[in-house]
Amino acid sequence: MTWKRTGVAVSALAPGALLEVVVDATTIVLARVGPLVFALDAVCPHIGGLLGDGTLAGRRLTCPVHGAVFDVGTGAVLADPFGVEPPEGGVSPVTVYPARIEAGMVEVDLP
């Protein structure tokens, strides 16, 4: 694993918040759910919506463009914008990355 610093203090990321950051030329979204921080691709795999502009409710992240809903911990599609029950449907899962908190700072493991 190659842990990368995000430059984000966990104290600056309120529970329920989303924050888009660039780490080693990769744009990701940090999502804070309670004491946990998750990291995922910043762009919706469906039609390119910016997930950092989405809505976070628990682990459910809703894309602001077409309403696809993803689990921030697994990347799984929870709701397809066309009403098709996952895992069927036209939306692929979003890529997630391991995240951790070290010395109060958020780090991610990027490929």
Overall domain count for the chain? 1
Angle at 30 between CA 80 and CA 83, to 5 degrees: 5
Amino acid at 72: V
Domain that holds residue 14: 3-109
pLDDT of residue 79: 87
pLDDT of residue 89: 74
Provide the CATH number for the domain around residue 50: 2.102.10.10
- Which two tokens mark 31? 């999502």
- Which two tokens mark 32? 């804070």
By DSSP bridging, strand 96-97 and strand 77-79 are unpaired
Rg (CA), the chain: 13
Structure confidence by residue, pLDDT tens digits, 2-54: 899 999 999 999 999 999 999 999 999 999 999 999 999 999 988 889 999 99
How far apart, in whole angstroms, are the C-alpha atoms of residue 3 and residue 6?
A: 10
Confidence band for 100, pLDDT divided at 50, 70 and 90: very high
Structure confidence by residue, pLDDT tens digits, 51-98: 999 999 999 999 999 889 999 999 999 988 877 777 677 789 999 999
How far apart, in whole angstroms, are the C-alpha atoms of residue 59 and residue 84?
A: 20
Nearest to 8 by CA among 33, 32, 43: 32
